Every structure is written in structure tokens, then in C-alpha cells.
Amino acid sequence: MKAALPLLLTALLAGCGSQEGFDDLRQFMDEAGRASAPKVKPLPPPQPHDTFVYQADQVPDPFNPRSLKGGPAGAAEAEVARARGGLEEYPLESLRVTGVIERNGVFQALVVTPDNRLHAAKVGDRIGQNGGIITAISYQGIKLKERVMSAAGKWTEVTSELAKPQETEIRELKPAGK
């Protein structure tokens, strides 16, 4: 009985390997496969791209604190010797212009700090932590310039604006008795 089992299995496997009678099925499968194959356009050739060689000695170390060294000659020493004003303690984005006062043609801006202190600022005053200087004040807000370090480590002068909220109304105060 044990010897008959391998012979029976061999005979069954030999019967499965027969190629006769399936030619029409193989032909149908080949034709069906060719007819349903999607038409795909070939991919365009790859485009060349710009290369960049990273040189660490030309880029500032992001983990070293930046200072005013490298600015104009003597700027760092002048900044250290000068007493800092009240509006220089705060980042520029944390300050709000709440109003503008005009007296005898001279504008002053009312600036609120994050701790709700009110400061009157005029043209030439320092503002923000980047040594910003107020260059103009109008009913729309404050214009200022400040020196900031770019991503490449170079000092650049940028102009910024602190706008007064639009919902603030403009009122003209007239002296009493007129």
C-alpha cells in the first residue's frame, strides 16, 4: 500500500501536465490580454536641475547667538553704551499702536506694550528689540527701519510698519473757548 501511494501521485501529476485540449483557451487569454492593455504615453526625458554645493564656512552657525558685531563700524559699541528706551524691551510684533496725537504739526504715536503700559513715541525714538528707529508717524500708524540679520548672516536694513487698527476713529480736539 505504501509503495502504491507514490505511484498514484505520480500518475495524477502526469495527467495534470497534459497540454492537449487547452489551445483554444490559451489563444483566448492571449487575445483578451492584448485587447485590454491600456495605451500609456512614454514618460518625458528627465530635465536637468541646478546643483548646489553646500559650503559650511559661508553659512552662519544657527546655534551661535547673533550679535551686532559685523554691522557698521562702531555700531556694536554705540549700541552697548546707549541707554535703552522703554519700547526697546519688547519684540516689535508684540507692540500695538492704539492712537496718534498731532500737536502743532508734530505727530506722536500711542503704543501699548504687552504688559498694558502706554508709551508716547515720536520720530527718532527707538522701538523693538532689533534697534528699530521710528522714521515717520501718520494717522495710519508708525513706519520704522531696523537692522536684521538675514539667513545668510549679512546685516540688512528693513522697513516695517505698525499700523493703527482701523476701528479707531479720528477725533480732532480743539482748544476750549474757540
CATH code (residue 99): 2.30.30.830
Residue 21 domain flag: no
pLDDT one-digit tens code per residue, 5-17: 777 777 766 666 5
Range of the domain at 144: 56-163
Residue 171 domain flag: no
pLDDT for res 9: 75
Distance CA 7, CA 10 (A): 5
Q: How confident is the model at residue 136 (pLDDT cuts 50, 70, 90)?
A: very high
Residue 108 domain flag: yes
Total domain count for the chain?
Answer: 1
**Cα→Cα distances 21→24, 28, 36, 45, Å:** 7, 13, 25, 47
C-alpha neighbours within 13 Å on the C-beta side of residue 20: 3
Residue 118 domain flag: yes
Distance CA 116, CA 96 (A): 10
Percent of the residues in the chain that have a pLDDT greater than 70, as a whole number: 71
Residue 49 domain flag: no
pLDDT for res 152: 75
Q: How confident is the model at residue 86 (pLDDT cuts 50, 70, 90)?
A: confident
pLDDT for res 4: 75
pTM of the model: 0.49
Q: How confident is the model at residue 81 (pLDDT cuts 50, 70, 90)?
A: low
Residue 40 domain flag: no
Residue 27 domain flag: no
